[in-house]
A = this chain, B = another copy of it.
Amino acid sequence: QSSSVTLYGGIDLALAYYRGDGTGSRIQLVPGGNQNNRIGIRGREDLGGGLYAAFELEAGFNADNGTGLPTNTNNQANGTVLATPGTQGLTFNRRSIVSLGGDWGEVRLGRDYVPSFWPIYLYDPFRTGVGFGGVTIQGTTVTNLRASNSIGYFTPACGTPGCLNFFGQAMYAAGENQSSAAANSDGRTMGLRLGYGGEPWEVSIATTKTRAAAVGDFTQSSGGGSYGAKFGRLMALVGVNRTGLPVAVLNNGNRAPFWQVGAMIYAGPGYFPVAYTHVGRNDAQNSSASKIAFGYVYNLSKRTALYTTYAHIENKGALAIPVNVGADAGPTPLPGHPASGIDIGMRHTF
- Residues on A lying within 8 angstroms of B by beta carbon are 1-3, 5-9, 11-15, 23-29, 39, 41, 43, 45, 47, 51, 53-55, 57, 59, 61-68, 70-74, 78-98, 100, 109-111, 148-151, 173-174, 176-181, 300-304, 306, 327-328, 331, 345-346, 348-350
Q: How far is the CA of A82 from the CA of B85 in the complex (A)?
A: 9
B67 and A71 contact, CB distance less than 8 A? yes
Known: A8-B1, A53-B301, A98-B11. A87 touches B65 (CB 8 A): no
30 contacts between A and B (CB under 8 A): A1-B302, A2-B350, A3-B8, A7-B41, A11-B96, A11-B97, A28-B149, A29-B176, A39-B57, A43-B350, A45-B303, A45-B350, A47-B304, A53-B303, A54-B348, A57-B61, A62-B73, A63-B111, A64-B110, A64-B148, A65-B79, A68-B90, A81-B85, A82-B87, A83-B84, A86-B91, A89-B89, A90-B90, A100-B346, A178-B331
Known: A45-B304, A85-B81, A303-B1. A149 touches B63 (CB 8 A): no
A96 and B178 contact, CB distance less than 8 A? no
What's the least CB distance linking A20 to chain B, in Å? Answer: 8
Residue of B nearest to A300 (CB): B47
Residues of B within 8 A of A41 (CB): 7, 9, 39, 350
Contact of A91 among B88, B177, B181 (CB under 8 A): B88
Residues of B within 8 A of A92 (CB): 61, 63, 66-67
Q: How far is the CA of A78 from the CA of B66 in the complex (A)?
A: 16
A23 and B67 contact, CB distance less than 8 A? no
What's the least CB distance linking A5 to chain B, in Å? Answer: 5
B85 and A88 contact, CB distance less than 8 A? no
Q: How far is the CA of A177 from the CA of B98 in the complex (A)?
A: 41
Known: A67-B71, A111-B64, A178-B25. A89 touches B86 (CB 8 A): no
A68 and B53 contact, CB distance less than 8 A? no
Report the 5 A-B pairs with minimum CB-CB distance, sorted nearest first: A89-B89, A66-B92, A24-B180, A65-B148, A81-B84
What's the least CB distance linking A297 to chain B, in Å? Answer: 15
Which of A96, A179, A181 gathers the greatest number of chain B CB atoms within 10 Å? A96
Contact of A301 among B47, B79, B97 (CB under 8 A): B47
A111 and B65 contact, CB distance less than 8 A? yes
Q: How far is the CA of A2 from the CA of B111 in the complex (A)?
A: 22
Residues of B within 8 A of A74 (CB): 65, 85
**Given A61-B92, A66-B96, A72-B86, 18 other A-B residues pairs in contact with their CB atoms under 8 A:** A1-B8, A11-B55, A15-B151, A25-B179, A28-B174, A45-B348, A54-B348, A55-B348, A64-B110, A65-B73, A66-B92, A80-B86, A80-B87, A83-B83, A87-B91, A90-B90, A179-B331, A180-B331
What's the least CB distance linking A74 to chain B, in Å? Answer: 8
Q: How far is the CA of A3 from the CA of B302 in the complex (A)?
A: 11
A55 and B350 contact, CB distance less than 8 A? yes
Residues of B within 8 A of A100 (CB): 300, 304, 306, 346
What's the least CB distance linking A210 to chain B, in Å? Answer: 15
Residue of B nearest to A71 (CB): B66
A90 and B89 contact, CB distance less than 8 A? yes
A45 and B301 contact, CB distance less than 8 A? yes
